[in-house]
Amino acid sequence: MNREELRNEMYAELKKSYGEGARFRDGQEEVILGVLEGKKSLVVQKTGWGKSLVYFMAAKILRKQGKGFALIVSPLLALMNNQIESAGKLNLCVKTVNSENSDEWSKIMDDLKDNKVDALIISPERLSNEDFRERLNQLGEKIGLFVVDEAHCISDWGHDFRPDYRRIVNVITSLPSNIPVLATTATANDRVVEDIKAQLGNDIQISRGGLMRESLAIQVVRLASKPERMAWLAKNIKDLPGTGIIYCLTVNDCILVDSWLRYNDIRSECYYAGLEKDSKAETVNRFMRNEIKVLVATVAFGMGFDKPDISFVIHFQKPGNIVSYYQQIGRAGRSLENAYAILMCGGEDDDINEYFIASAFPTEDLMNEVVETTANHDGLKLGDYEKFLNMKRGKIEKCVKYLEVNGDIYKENGLYYKTPRPWAPNLEKSEKITAIRREELKQMDEYTRIQGCYMEYIAKCLDDPTAVKCGKCSNCVDHPLIDEEISAEDIAQASRFIKERFDVIEPRKYWPSGIRIDDKNKILESYLCSEGRVLSNYGDGGWGKAVAEGKYRQGHFSDELVEASCNLLRSFVQEKQIQWVTSIPSLRHPELVKDFAKRLAAKLGLPYLEVLAKTQDARPQKELNNSNLQWKNAYESFEARGEIRNGNVLLVDDMVDSKWTFTCCGYMLRKQGSGEVFPFALASSAGRNGDD
């Protein structure tokens, strides 16, 4: 077919699926024609432009011509579900292979062989699966179009680089040269575009549109403390139209803000990576149906959630770079003429972002340890590394994935082995990327201080040649879009809320993977700790700061902390029929927790008994980074001795993170005849950074 015939076919399909008045947006027609002519194309267009229509329309016409199925690599399950819904309008049969439908894989593969599927959507992680790669190789000749969605993930220089995307380049190079390749993204500056070109081939054609978000009105609100920002939210959220998102940098802040909004009778739910799958899905469904006012989320609520009527996006803290900030605010106002993007800046923002930057790439030392451990063993499961390496599981996974994609280790039958290739870290590259991340953070900081148009600044940072003043942001109109004044009384109420709220310490129910005690990996119910309490989050604006002050500066916890703990625990102690108090011992600071626990016991009117002993000067738990080592350290360092009463006991410590110290000491107390063990800690340091 010539170009005119292809164009006529495209418009016929468009009108059949979307109505007689349907028209392609600027740029869509040219990209589809390029794909149909077998060209490589990179599309850089803002969210809502219609990138999925482009590849589904191309797939539709290619299928009508008798060509193979479209293989679409997409990073998130939610994105896959939206894409399947979108493809339905063109009457395409689209299937997905992902972690949640493994029971359907064989049937889907058979349908692909039998030419019954028009498009297959997979995650990049699927390409790391040996069995899937082998099946995909068998289907290679049946692929008619290869699509890379969210293509910025290919680039090391992008804000959201994912090692599994590296495998995509290898797949593309193995495809016959006549198979068209389409890469799409809404967030790529010149540096990322050039990197994508270098990886996919300089013959790639680029379709680039303007990135201005005409519906957005932006305001920056500088409020240093969490109580100030919380007070601002409580004052203003109810008056904002429609539904929206509040982004937080950490899980703890996500939970805190959600709790605060609920306390203020604002319908809110929170979303982060650690939530149960079903809970996540139901939360998203309620948000999509406008049954809640606000979704409080970490970056886990990211690409792929297409809700066109979001009327505001608020950042509780400053993100680490303009690109991810642009992507997040771009979720608002897709089908609205006016929507708000409010950025709040606080004192802790840069500390959190610095943590993200420092932990983004595994260090040379960590990589060396993983390579050496792999070389010294004849095949390791992923979980085995925790026995030999003092690394968090997430770090181990990052190192293993990087090294596997890089060709330094390989996986066979579920076990990892060292390849013959000599290991040499590319330190220059990782240092350069880290330096870029720090420059991006400075750019974000500059953004919060500019006097000119916010949207124009963002578009210029993204190398958009069409950048102009928006005429809608608070700087353009020269006054706040939403009042920034908050009363001292409202701030005080938010401070009291932080101080008065507490978190629950959920008991661990299993020993670490591979560990069996009493001949079981599951902790026997009669030896489990019960649900405990924690007064604060370490270092936070409530009691968390007082805990940090007492632990590291004064060497003594204040009477104020005793009073606050007593207020929290008084009814809890009565309800749970707690009869005595003990504490976790320390050789380094023997009086710190013991003195606090004694004063707390006296205030509660309970006896204090010293029945736990530290048997060796082991490493502090905070220096150990995975469950296997933390459990071993606690299990081998304590013992229960002396007068252990059979009544329920309050087990006191200053800090809780992994919960292994409480779990092991509680187990020992119960095994020696105590009643139920209820942990209590002054502060939690879990989930302080990142989307845990």
Domains of the chain: which residue ranges? Answer: 3-208, 216-350+448-494, 355-429, 502-684
Q: Whose CA is closest to 165, among 124, 129, 126?
A: 124
Report DSSP state, residue 520. B
Domains 3-208 and 216-350+448-494 share a fold: yes
- Specify the DSSP element, H or E, that contains 661: helix 660-671
The CATH-assigned architecture of domain 3-208 is: 3-Layer(aba) Sandwich (3.40)
Name the fold adopted by 216-350+448-494: Rossmann fold (3.40.50)
Q: Whose CA is closest to 365, among 389, 394, 386?
A: 389
pLDDT band at residue 690, thresholds of 50, 70 and 90?
very low
- Residue 692, pLDDT > 50, answer no
Work out the number of other CB atoms within 10 angstroms of the CB of residue 286.
Answer: 14
State pLDDT tens for residues 599-653: 999 999 999 999 999 998 878 887 888 888 999 999 999 999 888 999 999 999 9
State pLDDT tens for residues 39-49: 999 999 988 78
In this prediction the pTM is 0.80
- Residue 686, pLDDT > 50, answer yes
Give the pLDDT of residue 180.
93
Q: How far apart, in Å, are the Cα atoms of 347 and each of 222, 245, 258, 285, 326?
A: 10, 21, 20, 34, 22
**Dihedral of alpha carbons 155, 159, 163, 164, sign:** negative
Compare 466 and 125 and report the one with higher pLDDT.
466
The CATH-assigned architecture of domain 355-429 is: Orthogonal Bundle (1.10)
Work out the number of other CB atoms within 10 angstroms of the CB of residue 545.
Answer: 15
Q: Are 6 and 36 in contact (CB under 8 A)?
A: yes
State pLDDT tens for residues 525-557: 999 999 999 999 887 767 988 999 999 888 999
State pLDDT tens for residues 441-484: 899 999 999 999 999 999 999 999 899 999 999 999 999 999 99
Work out the number of other CB atoms within 10 angstroms of the CB of residue 584.
Answer: 23
- Residue 115, pLDDT > 60, answer yes
Q: How far apart, in Å, are the Cα atoms of 20 and each of 5, 15, 24, 41, 53?
A: 19, 5, 12, 28, 17
Separation of alpha carbons 325 and 319, rounded Å: 6
pLDDT band at residue 165, thresholds of 50, 70 and 90?
confident
Separation of alpha carbons 687 and 189, rounded Å: 32
Name the fold adopted by 502-684: Rossmann fold (3.40.50)
